[in-house]
A and B are shown apart, each in its own frame.
Chain A
């Protein structure tokens, strides 16, 4: 199963992070983001986390003021997608230390970094949270080492 895209949306409908795993033109991406932003923030807490949308499914989960939104094919497993979202949030929480929307807005590189270690081409490639954190920490060390040399 492969995730088509991952979008993080605030309650105000502002896009905080987007990651596309399928090839789309800029216009198509904008259209999708607009549709999702018009749909998801209006959902109430007790509504279903899975929405059938055109030829795919949108699965979302809300954490505090952010909506984590994924799109998958109709025959893909929604519960696994929800679990992937949960795993991503847990790893970000450990990486940032009590992650909040502000961290994702102003320190977005870590969020993308964790996502790239967790998911490749829409498929989860590392299920172990500690491994992902270790890789992110190692690369941060490399980066800080290079900065010191400069």
Chain B
């Protein structure tokens, strides 16, 4: 199973909410998984999550890991461990990495410090992927990198300061990760951007998963009329004739077809009539008259 996503964050940073709302893992399934993991949110594995778009169907997998607490030190320790050679196999295996952070608990300075590690991690993903790939035109990792900010203010739903959000977004953007404010409920803006959970789903859909089943719409069977229409259109001359000329030629064609019918009928009648005639002179005279008559139609 190759379409694995790693979801990491401090406790109470909406990891399971993301699993439920973005990846459609049911609450009951989550409860079972957590119970079987002795109630811990660290080291959870969820597989076989169906995912479908108009172009493909696939199954995704989630690895959920939880930091010991929301301190900067623990996050840095985790990042250093993840960048080590021991974890290379996991880095090669996953195709998406999502970090969840509490925007209330994290200051801009904390984010700056984490950003350095994120930048190194981003470069590491790219370098390792290029090295392991046989293709020459690859220059970046084929997965996605996201930092999800959540507002877990326990006293109420007070919004995060816009300036702080912008600063965090700029800092994270420069590392190669994309920042998503999970609680952003703005609708699509003038540029067509989507925000919050919708943007997260957008990224998942737009990823070229390593294992997927393409959906190809079968060619609709054409009716005979449609085929005939296509054939006529394809046979349309490249240089169109003048309208009058083309109109006359159409009438002429019809007229000539009618004339041919008349000629053939008259020939048949004349043939039958000639059989009954006895003298040669009579036959020759009759044939001359028939020929004169037919010249009118030719």
Binding site for B on A (CB under 8 A): 10-14, 26, 29-30, 33-34, 37, 41-42, 45, 62-65, 101-102, 105-107, 138, 141-142, 144-145, 147-148
User: Which residues of chain A have C-beta atoms less than 8 A from B144's C-beta?
Assistant: 12
Which residues of the partner chain B approach A65 to less than 8 Å between Cβ atoms? 192-194, 202, 206
- Alpha-carbon gap, A29 to B138, bound state (A): 11
B205 lies within 8 A of chain A by Cβ: yes
A145 interface neighbour in B174, B191, B203, B230, Cβ under 8 Å: B230
Mark contacts of B138-156 with chain A using CB atoms, 8 A cut-off: 1 yes-contact digit, 0 otherwise. Answer: 0110001100000000000
**Smallest CB–CB gap between B218 and chain A, Å?**
10
B interface, over-half SS? loop
B191 A62 Cβ-Cβ under 8 A: yes
CA distance A141 to B220 in the complex (A): 12
Please, how many angstroms separate the alpha-carbon atoms of A63 and B194 in the complex? Answer: 11
Are A13 and B208 in contact, CB atoms less than 8 angstroms apart?
A: no
Q: Are A106 and B55 interface neighbours, CB within 8 A? A: yes
Interface of A is mostly: helix
B234 within 8 A of A: yes
Known: A64-B193, A148-B219. A26 touches B136 (CB 8 A): yes
Report if B214 contacts A (CB, 8 A): yes
A12 x B208 contact (CB < 8 A): no
Chain A min CB distance to B189 (Å): 9
Q: A13-B176, A102-B54, A106-B55 are in contact. List 15 more A-B contacts (CB 8 A).
A: A12-B145, A12-B203, A13-B140, A30-B139, A42-B173, A63-B191, A63-B192, A101-B206, A102-B55, A102-B205, A102-B206, A105-B208, A106-B56, A148-B222, A148-B227
Question: Chain A nearest CB: distance from B120 CB in Å?
Answer: 16
Which residues of B lie under 8 Å from residue A142 when comparing CB positions?
A: 234
Q: Are B140 and A14 in contact (CB under 8 A)?
A: yes
How many angstroms from the CA of A141 to the CA of B192 in the assembled complex?
Answer: 32
Name B144's closest neighbour in chain A (CB-CB): A12
Within 8 A of A (CB), among B108-161: 136-137, 139-140, 144-145
| Pair B56/A147 contact, Cβ less than 8 Å | no
CB of A143, distance to nearest CB on chain B (Å): 10
> If A63-B192, A102-B53, A106-B214 touch, does A144 touch B219 (CB 8 Å cutoff)?
yes
Residues of chain A contacted by B191 (CB below 8 angstroms): 45, 62-64
Bound complex: CA A76 to CA B234 (Å): 40
Cα separation A41 to B144 with both chains bound (whole Å): 14
The answer to whether B233 has its CB under 8 Å from any CB of chain A is: yes
Is B70 an interface residue when CB atoms closer than 8 A count as contact? no
